[in-house]
């Protein structure tokens, strides 16, 4: 009974701490830049703004799978070296002689040593992969196929659905106008939607936590 009561108390404490963190003013800070505050604390030591954080490689890939409707939610079981598998990236098997290229591009942890903190780099090959990687193109095509029936009825609704699905918000008037101008100018709607969906995947807003 004593151990059970201690466990309940510990769970309550964790929930309370979690709630305090999530509702704190620091946690809910915007990433927006404020020059007046920057003059006082340009290095953000007082946490007047939230640092912009890039998602881990696993989360980027998993998000593309989820948004495109391709994610296999099956849990447990063996890992794999098959880059085209649709389960979460945690199920990639780590083999030092055959690492997953896309994961390595987005700072997959070094399996040869223990790391206290993962690195987060910004390099040109990451952008090139988002534009040219066959697997990412496949995710974009699957996403486009979900939007195609809507787009045939209303391009505006399709663009709105794309933003809501990938970015959890509606497009602003400029974004909507640019998307409609592009899609209306293309002869092959499905191909145009595929390229458009891949563009959404490459947005900073998709791979960075704002």
pLDDT tens digits for range 56-91: 888 888 899 999 998 888 888 888 888 888 898 888
In this structure, of 25-39, 60-74, 80-94, 141-155, the range with the lowest mean pLDDT score is 25-39
Dist. CA 97–CA 81, nearest whole Å? 11
pLDDT digits (tens, 9 = 90+) for 187-203: 888 999 999 999 999 88
Rounded CA separation 174/185 (Å): 17
What's the pLDDT at 2?
Answer: 47
CB 109 within 8 A of CB 92: no
- In DSSP notation, the chain reads -HHHHHHHHHHHHHHHHHHHHHTSTTTT------HHHHHH-TT-TT-SSPPPEEPPHHHHHHHHHHHTT------SS--B--TT--S-GGGB---TTS--HHHHHTTPPPTTS--SS------HHHHHHHHH-HHHHHHHHHHHHHHHHHHHH-HHHHHHHHHHHHHSSPPPHHHHHHHHHHHHT-S-HHHHHHHHHHHHHTSHHHHEE-
Q: How much is the mean pLDDT over the chain? A: 83
Q: How confident is the model at residue 10 (pLDDT cuts 50, 70, 90)?
A: low
For the chain, the 3-state helix, strand and coil shares in percent, each to the nearest 5, are 55, 5, 40
103 touches 89 (CB < 8 A)? yes
Report the pLDDT averaged over residues 31-56.
84
As a whole number, mean pLDDT of residues 139-158 equals 92
Structure tokens at 88: 């979460």
> Over 50: is that where the pLDDT of 138 sits?
yes
Is pLDDT of 29 > 60? yes
Backbone dihedral angles phi then psi of residue 209, each to the nearest 5 degrees = -90, 115
> Are 64 and 136 contacting, i.e. CB atoms less than 8 angstroms apart?
yes
Token pair of 21 as six digits:
């963190």
pTM attached to this predicted model: 0.76
Q: Which helix (H) or strand (E) holds 194?
A: helix 189-201
pLDDT at residue 164 greater than cutoff 50: yes
Write down the pLDDT at residue 9. 54
pLDDT bin (cut points 50, 70, 90) of residue 5 is low
Question: How far apart (Å, rounded) are the C-alpha atoms in residues 132 and 102?
Answer: 11
- The pLDDT > 90 percentage for the chain reads 27
């Amino acid at each position: 009974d004593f151990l059970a009561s201690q466990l309940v108390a510990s769970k309550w404490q964790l929930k309370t701490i979690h709630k305090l963190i999530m509702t704190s003013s620091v946690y809910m800070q915007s990433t927006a830049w404020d020059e007046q505050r920057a003059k006082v604390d340009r290095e953000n030591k007082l946490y007047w703004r939230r640092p912009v954080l890039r998602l881990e490689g696993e989360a980027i890939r998993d998000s593309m799978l989820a948004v495109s409707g391709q994610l296999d939610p099956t849990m447990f079981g063996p890992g794999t070296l098959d880059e085209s598998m649709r389960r979460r990236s945690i199920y990639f098997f780590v083999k030092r002689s055959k690492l997953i290229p896309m994961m390595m591009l987005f700072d997959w942890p070094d399996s040869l040593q223990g790391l206290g903190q993962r690195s987060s780099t910004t390099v040109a090959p990451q952008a090139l992969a988002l534009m040219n990687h066959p697997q990412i193109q496949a995710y974009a095509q699957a996403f486009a196929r979900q939007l195609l029936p809507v787009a045939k009825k209303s391009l505006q609704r399709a663009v709105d659905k794309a933003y809501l699905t990938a970015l959890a918000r509606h497009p602003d008037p400029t974004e909507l106008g640019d998307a409609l101008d592009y899609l209306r100018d293309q002869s092959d709607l499905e191909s145009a939607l595929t390229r458009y969906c891949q563009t959404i995947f490459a947005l900073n807003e998709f791979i960075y936590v704002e």
